[in-house]
Amino acid sequence: MTPSGKPTLSVCIIARNEADVLRECLDSIQPVADQIIVLDTGSTDNTIAIAEKSGAEVHATAWKNDFSVARNESIQYAKGDWILWIDADEQLTSESIPKVKKCLVGVSCPTAYLVTIRSLKPDGHSYTLSDAHRLFSNHFGIRFSGRIHEQIAPSVSALSGIEKESQIILDHQGYSYSGKKADLKRKRNETLLKKAIKMEPKSAYNHYTMAQHYALYGEYKKAVSCFKKAIHIGGLPPKMTTSLQNTYAETLIRLGKSHEAQKWIEKSLAQFPNQIGAYFLQYTQANKVDSLEGQIKALEAMIEQTWLIKKHGKTLSTDVEIPIRDLEYYLIRTGMKLKEPERVERYAHRLRVRPHLTYREREILGKYFLLMGDWDRAGEQLKKIYYDQPENTTILDLLGLFYLKQKKFSAAIHYYTLFHRLKPEDKAVRRRLAGLYAKTGDVEKAEALLSS
């Protein structure tokens, strides 16, 4: 503790050749750390120099092909009342800084907090969520176990400790790597997972993590085999079982086995109905077979569950997160495709009043209100895009249609002319513009356009 009696925090990192990400990690934890420990397992780049420059204590050890061994060595150097363990390719979000500090209180028994891990996918913009006991009380004998995907939960349980929820989030970049670094990580993890299964062949958790690994890298048939072994062995906690059911269903969808996938989606929802992930899988299923009705039902369920989670919290830590405004966007688009725009009207009005609308949001709203004959709101969205992007032919086309539907032919001619200047080869716009000239009595211009 500090002289004022405030509990202290040691942050422990194990690293090897992480020079390209370590500085960002260290910067993110500086506001909460009283001590930073970097255990280097054989770096040949600038990892050690970066750690030392940031004020971290650097220790070295030989890599023994076992993450729990390295983690346990790293926490031996921790002097703080609490330990936060983090990977070099992770960052503590700025919003989590006060939440970490709130957790640092005096405790009389082993205590561990669940932390959400938000992992960036290889596509670079979507995430998967998981959780782990990343923050725990020091000096109670808590230890890591597991060659890979190491945990402290078994140790906390053996010590009759307690587990608590937190709102702390770590952003993880590791699954977004590409090239040589991604290949090395993939091979390392696969080797360790196979060793873990060889040592504990009846561990459902080991087979589940092996299945996740194969699914992550697109080896879906191998993943299915491992999922089946994990399910046969059983014994996983209910929440982990539901996460398994969702990831198994997703893998089956990718293999085109929709009927079988649906069975596991239903099992997941039966066990934990208040989640988003299984409904997202239902949306994926409906999207694959072009079921617009199924898409709308799944999207509406996801919006309902998102509001419930905001109010009551998650029931599944591995649940997906999709911004409500994205769900509203897809609902509006799907309602228009279904030719039932009135069915999604409330979502259009909700999206319209959200701050900082994006181009695609304004475009879909412009199209929606144009379809509904709401000229004021359609014009509001389309004109805002036009002011920012005056050479956007999609918007020029929509503005031409906007005025044409209102029989404001001169204004329609203006926007179609702008379009025609930018894309004179577009025959459809040329014919439409010729028709407008003919309608307004300028037959000469109409004929010139049609003959060009």
* pLDDT computed for residue 365 by the predictor: 97
Which residue range(s) make up the domain with 242? 200-301+315-320
Q: Which of 34, 42, 168 has the alpha carbon at shortest distance from 97?
A: 168
Please report where in the chains the tokens 């039932």 appear, as a residue.
340
* pLDDT computed for residue 372 by the predictor: 96
Q: Are residues 399 and 276 in the same domain?
A: no
Q: Are residues 380 and 400 in the same domain?
A: no
**Residue 291 resides in a domain:** yes
* pLDDT computed for residue 322 by the predictor: 87
CB-based contacts of 138-145 (< 8 A; 24+ apart in sequence): 138/10, 138/75, 138/78, 138/80, 138/81, 138/82, 138/83, 139/81, 140/109, 140/110, 140/111, 141/110, 142/110, 142/112, 143/68, 143/72, 144/67, 144/68, 144/71, 144/72, 144/75, 145/68
Q: Are residues 335 and 429 in the same domain?
A: no
Q: Total domain count for the chain?
A: 4
Instruction: Supply the pTM of this predicted model.
Output: 0.80
Q: Are residues 25 and 71 in the same domain?
A: yes
* pLDDT computed for residue 125 by the predictor: 62
* pLDDT computed for residue 244 by the predictor: 96
* pLDDT computed for residue 124 by the predictor: 66
Q: Are residues 331 and 269 in the same domain?
A: no
Q: Are residues 367 and 432 in the same domain?
A: no
**Residue 184 resides in a domain:** no
CATH of residue 242's domain is 1.25.40.10
Last residue of a domain, one of 389, 417, 440: 389
**Residue 234 resides in a domain:** yes
Q: Are residues 376 and 433 in the same domain?
A: no
**281-329 pLDDT tens trace:** 999 999 999 999 999 999 999 999 999 988 888 888 788 888 999 999 9
Q: Are residues 397 and 379 in the same domain?
A: no
Q: Is 287 exposed, middle or buried (0-12, 13-18, 19+ CB in 10 A)?
A: middle
- Stretches in the chain below the pLDDT threshold 70: 1-4, 122-126, 174-179
Q: Are residues 53 and 101 in the same domain?
A: yes
**Residue 76 resides in a domain:** yes
Q: Are residues 20 and 136 in the same domain?
A: yes
Bridge partners for 110 per DSSP: none
Cα 362 versus chain centre, distance: 23
**Structural contact between residues 30 and 57, judged by C-beta atoms closer than 8 angstroms:** no
Q: Are residues 328 and 355 in the same domain?
A: yes
Please report where in the chains the tokens 């356009």 appear, as a residue.
449
Q: Are residues 119 and 248 in the same domain?
A: no
* pLDDT computed for residue 318 by the predictor: 81
